[in-house]
Amino acid sequence: MSDKPSLRAPRTPPAVRPSVLGRPEGTPAVRPSIAAPEREFEFSNGDFERVRALIYKHAGISLSPIKQDMVYSRLARRLRARGDRTFAEYLDRAQREPEEWETFVNSLTTNLTSFFREAHHFDILAERLRKHTAKAPFRIWCSAASTGEEPYSLAITACEAFNTLAPPVQIVATDIDTNVLATAQKGVYGIERVERMSRERVQRFFLKGTGSQEGQVRVRPDLQRLIEFKRINLLDKSWALQGPFDAMFCRNVMIYFDKPTQHAILERFVPLLKPDGLLFAGHSESFLHAADLFRSLGRTVYERTPARVR
């Protein structure tokens, strides 16, 4: 899970009160307010609360009350596409039709990501990779793959650490959103997405498009071979995963869950992470409320709490 841009309906500006010191003659005391445009579909507080309850129950996402405009903007598109006249009618459809339910969830999940976001994490991972001497591959779970920039950054880090395009590394990249996973599997991006990388990195790990593909880059097949993409909802009762992992990236995901949900997910992480493994969180996330499970190593990197090590 990462952020899509929030779309908000324009708000009516407040009326301006006249100054207590007076005003120029002939000017209005109060500016006329500008009426907000009427919404295409009626969207009541009851509709919003129903959406909040559904996405919390099935995806664990705790939508803030201030997200009402964002929810309207994203779901109104689906009402138009399906020809529904009211939100109640659309939500009934979403609960009735599995394909539309998937689209409903995809519409409300957020996916802001970039290559080498929070770069210090990849430096820490590279140091751990260089120390890896076991015969078994170094295994990484990226639990919020989004459109693929994070798992491909992990693959690049591994290639550089071992100085080969075939490092002894296995990466499992998962997300709840099937649309972004499809983008991730293709590995094709606008060239502006890699502009912050060094020229050497881009030349080594990407292929530049020509002709109709000009302005785009594709990750090299060597990187794609290191990654297995699959859909996983962290709230599902079972995950199609087999541990243990040497490192787990769960960044900018937990901020969408309440504390009890976070603790429950972290508890399920414990047996999937090796006793000396690392758990990477987002810069705005803290697991202090789960100190019985994980302890901080600083800079949003965690390890299993010793009492939990078996």
Q: Any idea which residues carry the catalytic annotation?
A: 74, 175
CA-CA distance, 156 to 200, in Å (whole number)? 12
Measured between alpha carbons, how far is residue 138 from residues 128, 130, 198 in Å?
10, 10, 26
Please identify which residue in the block is written with the tokens 């689209």. 103
- Up-side HSE of residue 184: CA atoms within 13 Å toward CB? 31
Cβ–Cβ under 8 Å, residues 247 and 128 = yes
- 3-state SS, one letter per residue, for the chain: CCCCCCCCCCCCCCCCCCCCCCCCCCCCCCCCCCCCCCCCCCCCHHHHHHHHHHHHHHHCCCCCHHHHHHHHHHHHHHHHHHCCCCHHHHHHHHHHCHHHHHHHHHHHCCCCCCCCCCCHHHHHHHHHHHCCCCCCCEEEEECCCCCCHHHHHHHHHHHHHHCCCCCCEEEEEEECCHHHHHHHHHCEEEHHHHCCCCHHHHHHHEEECCHHHCCEEEECHHHHCCEEEEECCCCCCCCCCCCCEEEEEECCCHHHCCHHHHHHHHHHHHHHEEEEEEEEECCCCCCHHHCCCEEEEECCEEEECHHHCC
